[in-house]
Structure formats: C-alpha cells, structure tokens
Amino acid sequence: MSDLLEHININFSKRSVTVISSDGDEKTVTWKWDREGSEGFAETVSVIEEMTDPQIRTYQFAEQ
C-alpha cells in the first residue's frame, strides 16, 4: 500500500481485519472458522501488533 496507513480494525467475533489508508481506501480480510483460519488470523494479528502503533488499532470482541 503506497498510501499511509491510518487505521486498523481487528474484529475477533468476525475473525477479520480491516485496514484503512489515509486516502480512505478500505480493505477487509476475513479468515475461515477452522483450525487453519484460526492460526492465520492469530499470526496476522501478532504481526500487526509488532509492526504498527497501538494508537491506530481498534479491537472488537463482540458482534455490533
């Protein structure tokens, strides 16, 4: 992504990650509800936490 990363929404109840760039472009990725999806989602969240500022991340734990 050549634009600046503005916000990341990590939704545990949907097992999804939404990334929003500074120009308003929004991309959502979801993982399957199986073992492989669980491992992939956990790995991705871990990498996001290592590489981004906590102030740009939002965590959701319940369906809204």
Q: Tell me what pLDDT residue 3 has.
A: 58
Domain count for the chain: 1
Better pLDDT: 2 or 33: 33
C-alpha distance from residue 37 to each of 14, 26, 33, 42, 61 (Å): 12, 22, 6, 8, 17
Contact 21, 52 (CB under 8 A): no
pLDDT digits (tens, 9 = 90+) for 15-48: 999 999 999 899 999 999 999 999 999 999 999 9
56 or 1: whose pLDDT is higher?
A: 56
pLDDT at 12: 97
**Residue 48 in contact with residue 35, Cβ under 8 Å?**
no
Coil, helix or strand at residue 15 = coil
What's the pTM? 0.88
